[in-house]
Amino acid sequence: MLGWLAALPSALALALAPPAGACTSFLLKAADGSRVYGRTLEFGFPLESEAIVIPRHYAARATGPDGKPTWSWKSRYAIAGLNAFGLPVVVDGLNEKGLAGGILYFPGFAGYADPETADPKMADPRHALAPWDFLTWALGNFASVAELRAALDTISIVDVVQPTLGVVPPFHYTLHDASGASLVVEPIGGRLEVRDNPLGVLTNAPTFDWHLTNLRNYVKLSPVEAPALKIGGETFAPLGAGSGLLGVPGDTTPPSRFVRAVALTLAAAPQKDAAETVRLAEHILNNFDIPLGQARPSPKETSRFEYTQWTSIADLSGRVYYVKSYDNQTLRSIDLGKVELEGRSVRAAPLRPSSRAAPVEFPKH
């Protein structure tokens, strides 16, 4: 059974936690046309995420401005993904039709509709979603990016305080489907800014169009080794491999991670199928892993660190969702072709830690 707010720190303690802003996501294409989506999730305190399966025809509920349930819908498609705070909604997920996506933090730029001042259609409770409801609505009701895009003008995302956080969480959203189509949805100035994403990459603030402009500062990056330079009879060859990517920013700010994700995904050699591309995605995602202590809000802080709580990978063609957590680096899977997709309730499984490394096993003589 899902515990809505059970065993969580107080809202005050969470409000004092450092802001989060280090999620990184991308899409890869295999040689056979398969698509694989990957992302990391960083936050400044434990989100207590569980792996969940939301069944077909599940009666999902939107949360209104007063924190009470407003309108509801029955989902068309089952979803596998990860939640937060024990809630029956996904922070990241994949549906049975191959539509996948995630919620990424968007501080300083998210601007939701105000239900008190928005136009009547957008303020109507039948059309309003809390920021954390949007992804569950999208994955539960649509089979492709095109279907979702066509329906975005029927809903709004409104200012709603998340009870556990004690604030309105600033989000934007990345969506991908099995055809390779990608979409970025950003609530800005009370409206939804929707853009195709030909690169398949998204991080955090600023806005997506800003990140695209910033790439113009890195147009000379290449996976090809730089040639040696000759000056006055002396030859200066690059030191070691990787000189083509010299200048890729290595810090954990959203602009730097965006550039790095684009560089690494474009440089990666396409693998033959989804299974090999899942492994490739895992290797690329390792470049964005933030260990405890690397990102801290102040020199005196010794406990509240932003860190990579989990990493997810979705095979959009095979409909398999994978996850590994900070304290269990084994990649575990939910195969939507094998799990029960019917039912009345959300099923949840904790991301249990691995207490020790497994020994290497040698064959017996």
Active site residues: 23
Write the DSSP string, 157-190.
Answer: EB---BTTTTB---EEEEEE-TTS-EEEEEEETT
* Whether the Cβ atoms of residue 92 and residue 102 lie closer than 8 Å to each other: yes
Give the single-character DSSP code of 33.
S
Pair of tokens at residue 316: 């959009």
67: left (phi over 0), alpha (psi -120 to 50) or beta: left
360 alpha-carbon distance from chain centroid: 33
Give 109's strand partners.
Answer: none
Secondary element (H or E) of residue 281: helix 274-285
Q: Between β-strands 69-74 and 128-129, what pairing exists: parallel, antiparallel or unpaired?
A: unpaired
Question: Alpha-carbon distance 191 to 196, whole Å?
Answer: 16
CB 55 within 8 A of CB 341: yes
CB neighbour list of residue 56: distance below 8 Å, 6 or more residues apart: 75, 76, 77, 78, 96, 341, 342
Tell me how far apart the alpha carbons of residues 79 and 333 are, in angstroms, rounded to a whole number.
13
Q: Quick one: 143 exposed, middle or buried, by C-beta within 10 A (0-12, 13-18, 19+)?
A: middle
